[in-house]
Amino acid sequence: MKELCHTIDSFKESIFSTITRKAIETGAINLAQGFPDFEGPKWIIDLAKEAMDEGKNQYSASIGIRPLRQSIQTLYKKFYDLNFDADKDITVTNGATQAIYLSIKAVINPGDEVIIFEPFYDSYVGSILLAGGVPVPVTLKGPSFEFDLKELENAFSDQTKLIIINTPHNPSGKIFTTKEYDQIATLVEKYDTYVLSDEVYEFLTFDNFKHTPVASHYKLKDRTITVSSAGKTFEFTGWKIGWAVAPAKITHAIRMIQQFQVFCVAHPLQVAMGKAIDRLDSYLPDFRARYQAKRDFFIKGLQAAGYSPIIPNGTYFVLVPIDGNDDFSACMDLIEKKKVASIPPSSFYLKSDDGKKYLRFCFAKKFETLEKACELLK
């Protein structure tokens, strides 16, 4: 038979699937993949059940139900003083990962270049390649994970169509600064480039650090596609309720692709998440306090086990420097000998070998899970 799509010839199994399977085979504690080992709030589950009982079980509008889009509109206005139109600017997607894919497909033509900061969420590269684009990496240098301005300037060219920013940043926990936004904005304006901002960890910040959306920058709002989701904030990663927020022209392109891909997102879950977003004011204080406590508890446990973790300002991940330059072997060794699974970050780099110097752990787990993992790591 004729050959299949050539683009996927270079694709490998996701590192998350590889490590999770190994953790299951060995009985290791899984601190690799970024999801809680506990349920999200019962009251949100009850809202989904109510929606099902009320008959919200058929297709929704392809762009998402209007009450959820209005809740997202209110979120951006209330928390960031950003004005978006629920009908023209906001599209509900099957998680943030689909929003990323749709956004890249909406912007990129074959041969267009896309700048990505490494380490990166691995979905970025796959989506760029499937769109026929060319990923151009710029390395964030540890331990502070700042970019070199000269390297960033050299990455831009007349072929640059898009730059992807992830803040708060997975896996480093970095939060991009206003100064960095200014530097990026100057180059984006010079080269007439779009921006895709992945902000799924927007409410997971610590130590009085505050998330500022890229679209808040006066030079970037009209160029930016903001992606986020309810999965991380409300601890229901499997519900896959995400969204893309962008100027109407870009949103139209995203919606044209959405209608021929998944068409729409699970209707009763949209209903529940819209109502949950409306309660963010009362929900967030406890949510943030719990994750600050988890982070601090896990950091102390890692230090007691002899590690020197890099304390994250956001997300629910922590990078831990290791001896040597083989993160994959170190990861496998911990799974086999210590029965604790992490992620080798070199999977999130295209250019630099910096990722080989770290392991990434997820602390979105029960305190007893984190305590047991730290004991095993000693």
Phi and psi based region of residue 59 (left: phi greater than 0; alpha: psi -120 to 50; beta: remaining): beta
Give residue-wise pLDDT tens across range 148-202: 999 999 999 999 999 999 999 999 999 999 999 999 999 999 999 999 999 999 9
Residue 13, token pair as written in the block: 């199994």
Residue 9 confidence (pLDDT) above 90: no
Closest CA to 308 of 316, 293, 318, 317: 318
Nearest one of 185, 175, 119 to 149, comparing CA atoms: 185
The answer to whether the bond into 312 is cis (omega within 30° of 0) is: no
Query: What does CATH list as the number for 43-279?
Result: 3.40.640.10
Q: Is the dihedral of CA 208, 90, 214, 260 positive or negative?
A: positive
The band of 12, judged by pLDDT with boundaries at 50, 70 and 90, is confident
CATH 3.20.20.70 at 6-41+281-377, yes or no: no
Q: Are 338 and 270 in contact (CB under 8 A)?
A: no
pTM over 0.85: yes
Q: What is the pLDDT of residue 232?
A: 96
Q: What is the pLDDT of residues 293-327, one digit of tens each?
A: 999 999 999 999 999 999 999 999 999 999 988 99
Characterise 202 by phi-psi region: left (phi > 0), alpha (psi -120 to 50), beta (else).
alpha
> Where are the domains positioned within the chain?
6-41+281-377, 43-279
d(CA 353, CA 287): 35
- pLDDT (average), residues 328-337: 97
CA atoms within 13 A on the CB side of 34: 14
